Structure 1
Amino acid sequence: MAVMKFGGTSVGTARAMQQAITIVATKKKERAPLVVLSACSGITNKLIRIADAAGLSRLDEAMAIAGEVRRHHLDLLDELVKSPAVKEELTVAVNLLVGELELLVKGVDIVGELTARSMDMFCSFGELLSTTVFAAAMKEQGHDALWVDVRKVMVTDDNFGFARPIQALCEANALSMIKPLLDAGTTVITQGYIGSSKAGKTTTLGRGGSDFSAALLGAWLDENAIEIWTDVDGVMTCDPRLVPEARSIRVMTFTEAAELAYLGAKVLHPDTIAPAVLKNIPVYVLNSLHPQAKGTLITDDPRMLSGMSYGGLVKSIAVKKGQCIINVRSNRMFGRHGFMNELFDVFSRYGVSVEMISTSEVSISVTVDDRSFNEELIRELKTFSDVEIEHNVATVSVVGDNLRMSRGVAGRIFSSLKDVNLRMISQGASEINVGFVVEEHDVAIAVNTLHREFFSGQETAGIFEIPAGSR
């Protein structure tokens, strides 16, 4: 069996949703899959806008956007569903869900406060609506499909906005509620991203949590594959918006994929990898708009990796914009212990995550998200050090297995960037990542130069084939 997760762009229009239905129907010929859907593209953002407007008592604005959400899904069903009876039934279902959304808007408006719990409820409507339309359209087209509310399976803690599942309870629910349906040949359609607390209150797993949901369900059901369907041909050698010549990577390890995710690659949510690694379940990243493309296989299975060629070792180049460098200098660092502990305690107390680090005897440079820190943090750092801030920078990371142990790779990286001003360099203990910081206006030239250096001609990690029968 397989878990098939479709992202927002893969179900965002009637044409895209029909393509996803066709892909699922093809998979069903082998064995009934579990289908996990995101909200239609753009809908979650609309729901957040609705919530914010309701919290600010802008009732008319919130209700107008809710009307847009209603219209989007009614248009979807109008194009996808042909039977008047089914169309009428589905229209009622969509109107009921949007009616609940409008009641929530009015409740928040009356109370005058938007809580984290209310925000999770607002955000859940995207997945509830997309799966309702998808399941009904599949059934009308003659497929044995059933809509299942994942909140009865995905029981989480009360950390609204970033809830974590209660593993033992969730696994028992998945085996008792979902597996019998799949074993009977029924395609199960359910939601990513959302869950519920033990008290039955709707929770969310954080933005990008649909990938996490799919991986968790795959691990609990002991599936033989997790398929992440998106709008690109797998994990790319670089962001194609920056490098038009970027190509898909055929095979990569879990470690490489996780590193890329944390370094800014947008295809996979970082937490997706963990449940798959636990059960060694292969993850496929595929293009629902181009299902014939081979996509990317992510695995640690030696048999599946046996056909891969590492070429020049580099697999991909990841970029994370919107960063800033905080340079900290203090003579207290020289030959004394405890300074690092004091420094990072400040970042911890202000809830600021450090991305990249570079040190010398009397100074340390770190990168953080430009939006994540405030003047209070800087003032506290200045009480025991000299501080300098550099805005409008980006981290660029070159990723591939065993880079640190490969002679000449670092030399090739930095000699190819001789015309780019490098503001900071970091490698440390990582064997698969060499990172540096450039000014944002230099990102395009830096990544295009690196891509030509490592992915030109035959020296590319994108030329090998996935072993036959792996998917």
Structure 2
Amino acid sequence: MAVMKFGGTSVGTASAMKQAIRIVAEENKKAVPVVVLSACSGMTNLLIRISEAAGESRLDEAMQMAGDVRLHHLSLVDELITDAQRRERVRQQVEEYVTKLELLVKGVDIVGELTDRSFDSFCSFGELLSTTIFAAALEDAGYDSQWIDVRRVMVTDRHFGTARPLEAVCEKQVQEVIRPVIDEGRIVVTQGFIGSTEDGHTTTMGRGGSDFTAALLGSWLPSDAIQIWTDVDGVMTCDPRMVPEARSIRVLTFSEAAELAYLGAKVLHPDTIAPAVKKNIPVYVLNSHLPDAKGTVITDDSGILEGMSYGGLVKSIAVKKGQCIVNFRSNRMLGQHGFLTEFFSVFARAGVSVDMISTSEVSVSLTVSDTDGIEQLAEELGRMGEVEVEHHVATVSVVGDNLRMSRGVSGRIFSSLKDVNVRMISQGASEINVGFVVEEADVPKAVRNLHHEFFSGDDMQGIFDRPAQHPAE
């Protein structure tokens, strides 16, 4: 059986939901699947705006936006469900959820404070609504399905907004709550990025957490495959908005996919790969708008990898914008034990994660997300040495197996960037990644040059599919 996760654009409209139902129905011919849904596209952002308006006592604005939530989902019900009795039942369920949303708005407005716990409650409504409607639409189309509140299964810690599952508890709940439904032959429909504390308070696992939930469910059941349905033809050689000639990658290793996710590739949530690796479950990244496209398979299966081997070295180019470089210099570093421990403890205390790093005997350059707290961090580092912060930069990473061990790759990378000002280089810690930093304005040029250098030859066809296609095409 497969766990099938559909992103927001795959369930954002009635026509998108109908397409997703057809895909689920096709999978159901093989084995009963578990379906994990995100909120309808744009809905989580709308719920965030509602929560912010409520927290700032803009009650009328928040209530008006809550009305927009009601209208969107009621229109989906009317378009998707033909049986009058079922349609009325689902309309009532939508009304109940939106009424709870409006009560939450009023409560936050009265208190005058938006807490992390309340924020997670706001965000949960999108997936509760989309899954309720989708499960009913499946039934209306003649498929035996059951809606399950994932909060019964996904028991988490109390880190609201970035909750993590209590895996031993969750795995037990999966066997007690979800497994019996599958064994009875019914399609399970559930949510993605929400969970619940042990005492019943709603949590969320961060944006993109639906991929993580799908992978966890796939590993706990366990499943034969984890399918991530999105709006592009799998993982791409680079962002097709920068390079229209970008191609879909047919196969990636788990390590390559994990590296791409952490380095900024948007198709997969960074945590998705770990549960799949643990149980050696292949992950398929597929296009719900073009379900016949081959997409990308992520696996360490040697047979698949060898069957799709090719003569190139690079698989993909990942970009992470919104970064800044912190340049630090101090003569105290020279030959002094423990200095770097003291240096990095500043970042640890500030809760700042370092992405890319380059060092010498008396200096360190590194990249971090460019946030409001960077200046305060730089001020603290300034007590230890000279500090300079460069804003408006991006990391660009070239990813492929054994890059570090392949002669001439770095030369090809930086020769292709001769007309781009490279601000920093980082290589050595990973065998599959060569990374560097450029100004954000230079990112499109850098990516185009790299893509032309590594993906313009005819020897790429074994590992890559056709150029990226979009629904409009």
Task: Using structure 1 for the length normalisation, give the TM-score.
Answer: 0.97
Greater Cα shift, 140-149 or 330-339: 330-339
One-letter identity of the residue aligned with 2:451: H
Is the contact made by 1:54 and 1:62 (CA closer than 8 Å) also made in structure 2?
A: yes
One-letter identity of the residue aligned with 1:90: V
Structure 1 residue 113, shift from structure 2 partner: 1.5
Residue in structure 1 matched with residue 359 of structure 2 by the alignment: 359
Is the contact made by 1:309 and 1:461 (CA closer than 8 Å) also made in structure 2?
A: no
Is the contact made by 1:249 and 1:461 (CA closer than 8 Å) also made in structure 2?
A: no
Residue in structure 2 matched with residue 213 of structure 1 by the alignment: 213
How many residues align structurally? 465
> Following TM superposition, where does structure 1 have runs of at least 4 consecutive aligned residues deviating by more than 6 angstroms?
none
Structure 1 residue 462, shift from structure 2 partner: 5.8
What RMSD, in angstroms, separates the aligned Cα atoms of the two structures?
Answer: 1.2
Could you report, residue by residue, the CA deviation over 1:200-250 in whole angstroms, capped at 9, with x for unpaired residues?
111111111100100000000010000000000000000101111101100
In 2, Cα distance between equivalents of 1:445 and 1:263? 19
One-letter identity of the residue aligned with 1:259: E
Give the 5 Å matches for 1:60-79: 60-79=60-79
What secondary structure is seen at the aligned counterpart in 2 of 1:459?
helix
One-letter identity of the residue aligned with 1:146: Q
Residue in structure 2 matched with residue 469 of structure 1 by the alignment: none
Residue in structure 2 matched with residue 230 of structure 1 by the alignment: 230
What secondary structure is seen at the aligned counterpart in 2 of 1:300?
coil
Structure 1 residue 341, shift from structure 2 partner: 1.3
Residue in structure 2 matched with residue 196 of structure 1 by the alignment: 196
Structure 1 residue 464, shift from structure 2 partner: 5.8
Is the contact made by 1:196 and 1:203 (CA closer than 8 Å) also made in structure 2?
A: yes
Structure 1 residue 461, shift from structure 2 partner: 6.9
Structure 1: where are the runs of 5+ without partners?
A: 466-471
Residue in structure 2 matched with residue 187 of structure 1 by the alignment: 187
In 1, Cα distance between equivalents of 2:268 and 2:80? 29
Greater Cα shift, 366-375 or 455-464: 455-464
In 2, Cα distance between equivalents of 1:341 and 1:295? 44
Residue in structure 2 matched with residue 279 of structure 1 by the alignment: 279
Is the contact made by 1:315 and 1:461 (CA closer than 8 Å) also made in structure 2?
A: no
Give the 5 Å matches for 1:155-174: 155-174=155-174
Is the contact made by 1:250 and 1:461 (CA closer than 8 Å) also made in structure 2?
A: no
Is the contact made by 1:308 and 1:464 (CA closer than 8 Å) also made in structure 2?
A: no
Residue in structure 1 matched with residue 11 of structure 2 by the alignment: 11
In 2, Cα distance between equivalents of 1:74 and 1:367? 46
Percent identity reads: 71
Could you report, residue by residue, the CA deviation over 1:36-69 in whole angstroms, capped at 9, with x for unpaired residues?
0000011011111111111111111111111111
One-letter identity of the residue aligned with 2:352: V
Greater Cα shift, 255-264 or 438-447: 438-447
Give the 5 Å matches for 1:40-439: 40-371=40-371, 373-439=373-439
In 2, Cα distance between equivalents of 1:30 and 1:210? 24
Structure 1 residue 361, shift from structure 2 partner: 1.8
One-letter identity of the residue aligned with 2:34: L
One-letter identity of the residue aligned with 1:162: T
One-letter identity of the residue aligned with 1:52: E
Is the contact made by 2:308 and 2:462 (CA closer than 8 Å) also made in structure 1?
A: no
What secondary structure is seen at the aligned counterpart in 2 of 1:271?
coil
In 2, Cα distance between equivalents of 1:88 and 1:31? 31
Greater Cα shift, 50-59 or 334-343: 334-343
Greater Cα shift, 364-373 or 2-11: 364-373
Could you report, residue by residue, the CA deviation over 1:425-468 in whole angstroms, capped at 9, with x for unpaired residues?
00122100000011111111111110011101223276468xxx
Residues 1:289 and 1:275: Cα distance change in structure 2 (over 3 Å): same
Residue in structure 2 matched with residue 468 of structure 1 by the alignment: none
Is the contact made by 2:310 and 2:462 (CA closer than 8 Å) also made in structure 1?
A: no
Structure 1 residue 307, shift from structure 2 partner: 0.6
Residues 1:233 and 1:187: Cα distance change in structure 2 (over 3 Å): same
Residue in structure 2 matched with residue 451 of structure 1 by the alignment: 451
Task: Using structure 2 for the length normalisation, give the TM-score.
Answer: 0.96
Is the contact made by 2:378 and 2:389 (CA closer than 8 Å) also made in structure 1?
A: no
